[in-house]
């Protein structure tokens, strides 16, 4: 994944942390994070932007900010371009 832009009110650090990573799934999980979090994602040390995580599992459904705060999320949307 290549992160080129972020918009939102939680700070872009959470997503930039995953820049350059390959997508991990249950059967292709080099860090055991997809199993731990309950969902596939571009994991790096599991997650800073846990937007594809089962609520109540692993890193939960949260977003880490530059200030060290983490925000529990209610919803998330992601647009991918190829």
CATH number reported for the structural domain that contains residue 76 in this entry: 4.10.530.10
Please name the residue that has the structure tokens 């918009």.
7
> What is the residue range of 76's domain?
7-82
Tokens of 14: 């959470």
Let me know if residue 1 belongs to a domain. Answer: no
> For the CA atoms of 80, 71, 42, 46, what is the dihedral angle to 10 degrees?
-170
- Cα separations in angstroms, 25 against 28, 39, 74: 5, 7, 23
Q: Is the pLDDT of residue 24 over 80?
A: yes
Cα 12 from Cα 8, distance rounded (Å): 8
User: Quick one: what percent of the chain has pLDDT higher than 90?
Assistant: 0
Domain count, the chain: 1
Contacts of 20 (CB under 8 A, 6+ apart): 1, 2
Q: How confident is the model at residue 57 (pLDDT cuts 50, 70, 90)?
A: low
Q: Is the pLDDT of residue 12 over 70?
A: no
Let me know if residue 2 belongs to a domain. Answer: no
Q: What is the pTM of this model?
A: 0.63
């Amino acid at each position: 994944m290549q992160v080129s832009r972020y918009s939102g009110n939680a700070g872009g650090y959470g997503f930039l942390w995953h820049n350059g990573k390959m997508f991990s799934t249950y059967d292709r999980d080099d860090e055991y994070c997809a199993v731990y979090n309950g969902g596939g994602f571009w994991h790096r040390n599991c997650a800073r932007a846990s937007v594809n995580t089962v609520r109540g599992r692993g890193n939960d459904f949260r977003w880490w900010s530059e200030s060290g705060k983490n925000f529990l999320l209610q919803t998330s949307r992601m647009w991918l371009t190829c």
